[in-house]
Amino acid sequence: MPTAREALLGAALSALTDLPWSAIRMVDVASAAGVSRQTLYNEFGSKDGLARALVRREADLYLRGVERLLIEGVGTAARLVSVAEWTVGQARARPLLRALLTGCWGDRLPAPRPP
């Protein structure tokens, strides 16, 4: 069973498939995650805090994947090719990761802001 934090991040990421970030409401994210709105605010502080956490989670997932591929491969060139191919596939499937890697955020995604 996911923690409240993971459930909230999953609900927010899921909401991004249908709505731009500006249209996503905190109360809807909390409801979709099955927690109270207060729990969401306790966990992230604000919508910007939720956005930072989403971006951080995407970056962490990406870096863990890169690390895994660099450990698994045989030979430097093969490892780098694996990372490049995997990165392209992940960026194609995950818009938030694509924005993080390219810097092209657009209005549909939560652009990171300093805390």
Q: Residues near 99 by Cβ (< 8 Å), separated by ≥ 6?
A: 105, 106, 109, 111
pLDDT score, position 68 = 94
SS3 6: helix
pLDDT score, position 115 = 61
| Percent of the chain whose predicted confidence (pLDDT) is above 70 | 96
**Can you tell me the distance from the alpha carbon of 69 to that of 81, in angstroms, rounded to the nearest whole number?**
10
pLDDT score, position 84 = 95
Helix, strand and coil in the chain, % to nearest 5:
70, 0, 30
Dump pLDDT digits (tens) for 18-67: 899 999 999 999 999 999 999 999 999 999 999 999 999 999 999 999 99
Q: State which CATH number among 2.160.10.10, 3.50.50.60, 1.10.357.10, 3.40.109.10 fits the domain covering 4-102.
A: 1.10.357.10
pLDDT score, position 111 = 75
Tell me: pLDDT of 72 over 90. Answer: no
